[in-house]
Amino acid sequence: MSKQDKNQQELVFLPLGGVGEIGMNLYLYGLGTAKKRKWLMVDLGITFGGEFEPGVDIIFPDTKFIEENSGDLLGLLLTHAHEDHYGAVVDLWPRLKHNLPIWCTPYTAALLRGKIADNSSGLKFDIREVAMSSRFSIGDFDLELITMSHSIPEPNAVIMRTPLGNVFHTGDWKCDPDSIGSAGIEMERLAYAGNEGIDVMVCDSTNAPTKGDSGTETQVAKTLMKVIAGEKNRVIVTTFASNLTRVLSIVKAAKAAGRDVVLAGRSMWRVVEAGRETGYIDPDMKFYDQSDYGYLPKDKVVLICTGSQGEGRAALGRIANREHPELTLNKDDLVIFSSKMIPGNEKSVFRLYNLLVDQGIRILTEKDDMVHVSGHPPQGDLKKMYDLIQPKAAVPMHGEALHLEIHAQFARDNGVRDAKAIRNGDILRLLPGKLEKVDEVFSGRLYKDGRLLIPASHDAIRQRRRLSFVGFITVSIVIDKAGNLLADPVFASEGIPIEDKQTPQTPLTYDVLHKEIKGTLKSVAKKSRRNKGVVKEAVRRAVRAKINFLWGKKTVCIIMVSQVTGGRG
């Protein structure tokens, strides 16, 4: 980390999410001196909870740093409407204490308005729509949008022209000139930007380890057309709700096969409504609600639903577990996973596969046929981008540590003199001069736990993780003023194999624990036994130790002591 000239004008890059991980994107660009910068936020997204975060569905980047500096924040620019880029806006943007403007293109604006309406918070958001390929200013940032290709309409890269030089922020992208349902990547404008001169490119790294070129949505559409046309049973296609491009391909394939399309889930309907509002979906295109599913012949229906990542609450998970009130599958029906398995979701997805296969339901994944292509650039696409943009320096973003480091080396191998992989919380000076880490700030995660937002370090999450392994026992005892038991202890436990009808042979019983408590109280000095706190801790230690001796696990032990006057003395 270098020593800074506190009065030097500089442009810095500060990720608070999305660098060192996939998802939860939050990027800050700061222009000014180290003492006083004006910040522009690019994207504000989420990631999803897993087994490590029991009870948590959604995870946000911690915005503590920018909340403390919100007076210097100019606003938010959204590159596109995937959840990992805009999903945190409703929950986090109001925490910045100002009704700061949000700039986005029409499709993203439509989805954001729908999300706000569903939230019913009553909060007002200053959403400013800008046209595709438009040029506008936010403070001293002169911004120009360039249309890219991705698995959603209106993905944008951003040229940032500043008094110190030009930065190109790619957003999410791949090279697909024949994108379905929306304009493809604007290669000529990218070449023009490269000829003008780009000092730094901040670029998507998701598929940096993957060699070759990306597949196209047209290829996926042809495969879906072929597969659906050859089916005689129900066809269910699961994909990310926000992938309107894929939804359009599925609809086209269903129509060609003479099938009606059923949508399952509010998020699917929200995407379709936004597509109609912005002209990507013909207003006359008919979709059926899930309540109509059971009335349609099995050879005349295609169901599009969420749940491709094995999410238990999503439509497909509920169907596989036979818990959905309106949607069912039968033997020999086909489920097409038109999606990629996100790293970290492998267990959940394979569990879903097995649930379906055990019921005689057939599955088709990207490993079996070309029913999905990634929306991110492999090395062939990255090479094309570096050749077009010709940046003097490169900063990998949107990827885990391995992706970032491979991307940085790839940039060097392709003639970029200066490439640096950083992590969330690092402040990287982009201009002037060479890339250099000049500072670091707090970065972390916030969990959406029910209606509450709590930090990842909160004891509640740690305790839940522990409970999932060792269960808990609660013991309630009543003692007199001398510390003698007035009644038998009352026990309640969860997750501990204490003797019951299922485990009649276990040596771990409430009777054994009762004897342990009686023996413990006798061993405590009479004077100390009058102290509730001493009794509570002695009983806790004894019960926990006995369970550990018999079970081999240290459970969570909660002791409640009530002391009453009178009784034995």
The answer on pLDDT for 569 being more than 50 is no
User: Band of the pLDDT at 503, cuts 50, 70, 90?
Assistant: low
Residue that is written with structure tokens 């099938």 in the block: 259
Average pLDDT rounded to a whole number, residues 515-521: 91
Confidence of residue 345 (pLDDT cuts 50, 70, 90): confident
Read off the pLDDT of each residue in 332-354 and give the average, rounded to a whole number.
Answer: 90
Mean pLDDT of 511-526: 90
When pLDDT is averaged across residues 59-66 and rounded to a whole number, the result is 95
Q: What is the pLDDT of residue 145?
A: 98
Query: Which pair of structure tokens corresponds to residue 331?
Result: 């033997």
CA distance 456 to 443: 11
Q: Can you tell me the mean pLDDT for 410-421?
A: 96
Nearest to 215 by CA among 342, 371, 368: 371
pLDDT band per the 50, 70, 90 thresholds, residue 463: confident
Interatomic CA distance for residues 120 and 432, integer angstroms: 45
d(CA 386, CA 550): 63
Map tokens 């409970």 to a residue.
467
Q: Are the C-beta atoms of 544 and 554 separated by less than 8 Å? A: yes
Return the DSSP state at 26. E
In the prediction, which pLDDT does 96 show? 84
Say whether pLDDT at 566 is over 70: no
Who has greater pLDDT, 514 or 313? 514
On average, the pLDDT of the chain sits at 91
Give the residue-averaged pLDDT of 12-35: 96
Mean pLDDT of 353-376: 95
> Position 558: which residue type?
I
Burial of 4 (0-12, 13-18, 19+ CB in 10 A): middle
Average pLDDT over residues 537-545: 94
The 10s digit of each residue's pLDDT in 212-254 is: 998 888 999 999 999 999 999 999 999 988 888 899 999 999 9
pLDDT recorded at residue 120: 64
User: CATH number for the 11-212+374-455 domain, one of 3.60.15.10, 3.20.20.190, 3.30.70.260, 3.90.1150.10?
Assistant: 3.60.15.10
3 state DSSP class of 466: helix
pLDDT of residue 312: 78
Of 104-118, 143-157, 499-513, the one with minimum mean pLDDT is: 499-513
Asked if pLDDT for residue 458 goes beyond 60, the answer is yes
- Stretch 113-118: mean pLDDT: 89
- Please determine, for residue 449, whether its predicted confidence score (pLDDT) is greater than 90: no
C-alpha angle with apex 240: 235 to 245, nearest 5 degrees? 85
Among 6-15, 155-164, 342-351, 411-420, where is mean pLDDT lowest? 342-351
What separation in angstroms does the CA of 169 have from each of 23, 238, 296, 395, 455?
16, 31, 47, 9, 29
Assigned superfamily of 217-364: Metallo-hydrolase/oxidoreductase (3.40.50.10710)
Give the pLDDT confidence score for residue 182 in this predicted structure: 66
Which pLDDT value is given to residue 243?
A: 86
340, pLDDT greater than 70: yes
What's the pTM?
0.88
In this predicted structure, the answer to whether residue 70 has a pLDDT above a threshold of 60 is: yes
* Coil vs helix vs strand at 158: strand
Structure tokens at 134: 């438009």
Neighbours of 531 (CB within 10 A): 16
pLDDT at 184: 82
CATH code 3.90.320.10 for 471-564: no
* pLDDT tens-digit map of 121-175: 678 899 999 999 999 999 999 999 999 999 899 999 999 999 999 999 999 999 9
Domain locations in the chain as residue ranges: 11-212+374-455, 217-364, 471-564
Least confident of 162-171, 228-237, 294-303, 482-491: 482-491
Nearest CA to 11 among 221, 199, 230? 199
Radius of gyration of the chain (CA): 29
At 502 the pLDDT is 56
